[in-house]
Amino acid sequence: MEWLGLYNYWVVVVLMMTGFYVVIAQGNLIKKIVGLNIFQTSVFVFYISLAKLDGGTAPVYVEGTTAYTNPLPHVLILTAIVVSVALTAMGLALAVRVYEAYGSLEEDEINAQDEQDA
């Protein structure tokens, strides 16, 4: 059953599609940002699971060990986590601003107001 070894990717796909669904189907702006976060986490899990090596230990030097989990994806994801927080902060700031201007976080209400003004 060779294909059973691919289950980590399927977990990632399910998570990613959950986030994707939230982003495109939910009308609430804050909810969309939550969905974006789930999506990002799925990408992180994908990278970290790529780095995993059978029989490897955490990438901290230990006398006599030669098999380590790949440190490179860890570094990339370390950077990505911080960037994702920056993204969340920026998105939330925009959402707050939209709420101040429209009094609503719902996409359809905002659209309706825009059409009224036009």
Partner 1 sequence: MATVWIRNLFAATMLMGIFSLLAASLYVLLDAVDVALTEAAVGAGLSIILMLGALVLTTSKEKVRDTRHNLLALVVVLITGGALIYGTMDMPGFGDPEAPAHQHVSPRYTQESVDEIGIPNMVTSVLASYRGLDTLGEVLVIFVAGVGVLLVLGPGRYRRRPRGSGKAQE
Number of residues that bind partner 1 (CB under 8 A): 88
Site string for partner 1, 74-93 (x = CB under 8 A): xxxxxx-xxxxxxxxxx-xx
Q: Provide CB contacts within 8 A for 20, sequence distance 6+.
A: 35, 39
The residues in 28-57 that bind partner 1, with binding defined as CB under 8 A, are 28, 30-31, 33-35, 37-38, 41, 44-45, 48-57
φ/ψ bin of 52: left (φ > 0), alpha (ψ from -120 to 50), beta (otherwise): beta
User: Which tokens is 72 given?
Assistant: 């490179």
Binding test (CB under 8 A) with partner 1, winner from 64, 100, 115, 118: 100
Q: Nearest distance from residue 9's CB to partner 1, in Å?
A: 4
Does 105 help bind partner 1 (rule: CB under 8 A)? yes
Beta bridge partners of 28: 106
Q: How far is the CB of 65 from partner 1 (least distance, A)?
A: 10
Instruction: Choose which of 32, 39, 43, 59 interacts with partner 1 (CB under 8 A).
Output: 59
Extract long-range pairs of 92-100: CB within 8 Å, 24+ residues apart. 92/30, 92/33, 94/29, 95/29, 95/30, 95/33, 98/29, 99/29
CB of 76 to partner 1, least distance (A): 8
